[in-house]
């Protein structure tokens, strides 16, 4: 099964993608994670995109399509979760072409609906484990022991450079200007299902499971 999780920054895509990986053995393809890895590795591409990401703008279609293509060519049988990709109509068209060329079928697109005030609260409290990638929140999902990841015991807990009020404003506007058009795009193709992302993590997960059934 291959799915897209579509939604604004902070909607809970990464949180739900990790559950699907754990429960179904699917492969999470997060372009945000790939770009952050490129930055950490110090690659030329990573250097090129750093300022754009910190400002909260989208990097070029060409770069993210290239990253996704590399992963698709590696192959996988359990299915992909596209998380944070596509984000423009150009990326959506490119993904269709790429999937078709590689004989991969897109099963459904799950839109996670969350309003702006909740997104701000979610993003301003987000931190993640630098070792295993577990996603936390100061209020709704703190670690059990202060400063230690519940999953892997690492103390490398991080906040993202772009999880600040100024960058978030830009990221939200980028979403409404460039990405939200994909809701109509996938609806018109009969591929869209929407879930109420304002619910708790368990309830959202249950609704996603229904959408995938
Ligand atoms: P995205 O990948 O869409 O940017 P994340 O999965 O990183 O979003 O979630 C953003 C923040 O919101 C994290 O701190 C996460 O713990 C929290 N979060 C995720 N889902 C929910 C939810 N259903 N209810 C409350 N908080 C949530
Ligand atoms: P995310 O981790 O999904 O919140 O993405 C973090 C940042 O990476 C975004 O604000 C963009 O700068 C960049 N990015 C991630 N995915 C894409 C994409 N599909 N298209 C363009 N830019 C992206």
Compute, in angstroms, the gap from residue 30 CA to the centroid of ligand 2.
9
Three-state secondary structure string covering the chain: CCEEEECCCCCCHHHHHHHHHHHHCCEEEEHHHHHHHHHHHCCHHHHHHHHHHHHCCCCCHHHHHHHHHHHHHHCCCCCEEEECCCCCHHHHHHHHHHHHHCCCCCCEEEEEECCHHHHHHHHHCEEEECCCCCEEECCCECCCCCCCCCCCCCCCEECCCCCCHHHHHHHHHHHHHHHCHHHHHHHHCCCEEEEECCCCHHHHHHHHHHHHC
Q: Looking at the annotation, which residues are catalytic?
A: 13, 87, 126, 160, 171
**Ligand 2, atom 1: closest residue by C-alpha:** 32
pLDDT surpassing 90 at residue 106: yes
Does ligand 1 lie within 6 Å of residue 120's CB atom?
A: no
Ligand 1 atom nearest residue 203's Cα: 23
pLDDT of residue 74: 87
Higher pLDDT, 194 or 78: 194
Ligand 1 atom nearest residue 200's Cα: 23
Does ligand 1 lie within 6 Å of residue 15's CB atom?
A: yes
pLDDT of residue 174: 97
pTM more than 0.85: yes
pLDDT of residue 116: 94
Q: How confident is the model over 75-83, as a mean pLDDT?
A: 89
Looking at the chain, the whole-number percentage of residues with pLDDT higher than 90 is 95
Does ligand 1 lie within 6 Å of residue 122's CB atom?
A: yes
pLDDT surpassing 90 at residue 77: no
**Ligand 2, atom 15: closest residue by C-alpha:** 32
């Amino acid at each position: 099964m291959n799915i897209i999780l579509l939604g604004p920054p902070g909607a809970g895509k990464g949180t739900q993608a990790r559950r699907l990986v754990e429960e179904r053995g699917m492969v999470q393809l997060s372009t945000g994670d790939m770009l952050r890895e490129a930055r950490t590795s110090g690659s030329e591409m990573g250097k090129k995109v750093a300022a754009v990401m910190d400002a909260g703008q989208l990097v070029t279609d060409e770069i993210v399509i290239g990253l996704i293509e590399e992963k698709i060519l590696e192959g996988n049988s359990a299915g992909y979760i596209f998380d944070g990709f596509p984000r423009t109509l150009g990326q959506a068209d490119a993904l269709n072409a790429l999937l078709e060329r590689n004989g991969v079928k897109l099963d459904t697109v799950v839109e996670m609906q969350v309003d702006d005030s909740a997104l701000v609260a979610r993003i301003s409290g987000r931190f993640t484990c630098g070792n295993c990638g577990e996603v936390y929140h100061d209020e709704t999902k703190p670690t059990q022991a202060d400063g230690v990841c519940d999953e892997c015991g690492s103390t490398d807990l991080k906040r993202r450079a772009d999880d600040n009020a100024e960058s978030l404003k830009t990221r939200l506007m980028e979403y409404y200007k460039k990405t939200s058009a994909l809701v109509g795009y996938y609806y018109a193709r009969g591929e869209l299902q929407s879930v109420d992302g304002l619910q708790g993590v368990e309830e959202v997960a249950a609704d996603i499971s229904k959408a995938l059934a």
